[in-house]
Amino acid sequence: MNDSAPLEAPAVVTNPSAPSTDRKEAHAIEVRHLSRWFPGVHAVRDVSFTVERGQVIGFVGANGAGKTTTMRILATLDHPTSGEAHVCGHNVVTHPAEVRRCIGWMPDHYGTYSHMTVLEYLDFFARALGYKGNERIERIAEVMEFTDLTGLADRLIDALSKGMGQRLCLGRALLHDPEVLILDEPAAGLDPKARVELKHLIRILAQEGKTVFISSHILSELGEMCDSLLFINQGRIIHHGSAESLRRGNAATSVVEVQLAGGLGRLAEWAALSPHVTFREATKSGGRIEIDSVEPEVIASVLRRMVNEGLPVTDFHLQERKLEDAFIEILGEIEAAGMPIVS
């Protein structure tokens, strides 16, 4: 909330006749100094970020942080107060039709069409998108197969579970085979099985080369499927980085938990004689060691040596910060600094 924000958003200067930028060279998403004020609320403040083609990027923030507002602007459903956003090289304000052709949009709440079946719903949108005849039938069949809805073709939308409804909404967003998917809280309210299914679908879409911009406040979920995470807090971007770098933090050393067949064995003794390694403590079925590097090659060489020198290793895994802890830590740093960090 920003009391000093103007009550009315100033108009955005648009020039529909300006050429769209060269889309082949363009980032999938490029946002520059984007702001959106609502009366009394500065929902998005000077946000800048880029998303490369083929990336899956998680958009993370608490309730009211500004995720939906940013996504709605990218989906051409709202105008920024100031700043610019481009999707596949097209300006969202001056070239909304081109942007809509490139994107599949899944809102956090989809409209209820209680009187329609799954097939009728997809058919309605496929017609609206201009699909005709066999092409339409084939495209709907492909989308229903991908989202595992084929067996539910005649089910009324009213009678779908939350997970089925989310898959239908994703199917609708995929009908025109868009390059970029903008998914607002697609996993909200899903049970663990439906979340796993959704994650699986998003991974397949990423493998097919789609760019996926996905919001959630469940960080562990995003960490598993995203190339990078974008944190937003009170309308400002406070961090943009890979899940691995967040889990690692600023540490200069790596802590590894090692399990050995037969328990601790000679791990402490081995560590004492090994370069780069310090024995930290014993655990139930092995021990914790510290390696004086975060370089994957050095960590791999320690494991190789351990095995070559006869230690019966059954498990060797890095201890990392939880993403939630990383998020809280970043928020704490911002508060301590007394000012927001803007990317």
Question: What is the binding site for ligand ATP (CB under 6 A)?
Answer: 38, 41, 43, 61, 63-69, 108, 217
Amino acid occupying residue 292:
D
Please say which residue, 43 or 326, places its beta carbon nearer to ligand ATP.
Answer: 43
* CA distance readout (Å), 158 to 121, 150, 165: 12, 17, 9
Please say which residue, 122 or 323, places its beta carbon nearer to ligand ATP.
Answer: 323
At closest approach, how far in Å is the CB of 61 from ligand ATP?
Answer: 5
At closest approach, how far in Å is the CB of 308 from ligand ATP?
Answer: 50
Please say which residue, 59 or 121, places its beta carbon nearer to ligand ATP.
Answer: 59
Please say which residue, 141 or 218, places its beta carbon nearer to ligand ATP.
Answer: 218
Please say which residue, 185 or 320, places its beta carbon nearer to ligand ATP.
Answer: 185
The β-bridge partners of 288 are 257, 281
Please say which residue, 37 or 316, places its beta carbon nearer to ligand ATP.
Answer: 37
Token look-up 């610019």 returns: 84
CA distance linking residue 308 with residue 82, whole number of Å: 60
Please say which residue, 66 or 83, places its beta carbon nearer to ligand ATP.
Answer: 66
At closest approach, how far in Å is the CB of 232 from ligand ATP?
Answer: 7
